[in-house]
Amino acid sequence: MKRTVHTDDAPAAVGAYSQATTTDDLVFTSGQIALTPDGEMRDEASVAEQTEQALSNLRAVLTEAGTSVDDVLKVTVYLADIEDFDEMNATYETFFATDPPARSAVAVDALPKGAAVEIEAVATK
């Protein structure tokens, strides 16, 4: 059965989507950007800082869904500039230090609210 997830520890959805949806076994998160839980967009922050904020948001959503970053199976990282990959990756590695999940990282033309990075995940429960 599908269930939607919401936590005040991550930014509220800014459109017609949920922070995450779950089934009995899986959690699918929406993409997280450098938007703070109180709605401040950190688009002027470095890519490393934006990555940290996006992953902190992701962690909060996963926790609310009853899982954690340790249970993430697959991550997709969207970068506004592929040249930012190394900076993003250095911060990313601190969140997934042991047994990291499968991951794709792709460059896109633009991201919501001028973000440099957006991160979504699929986790098991």
50 Cβ contact list (under 8 Å, min separation 6): 33, 34, 42, 43, 115, 116, 117
Sketch out the chain's domains with CATH numbers.
3-124 (3.30.1330.40)
What is the pTM (predicted TM-score) of this model? 0.95
pLDDT band with cut points at 50, 70 and 90 for residue 15: confident
Q: From the CA atom positions of the chain, what is the Rg in Å?
A: 13
Is 14 a residue whose pLDDT tops 90? no
Is 62 a residue whose pLDDT tops 90? yes
Show the tokens assigned to 15. 């459109």
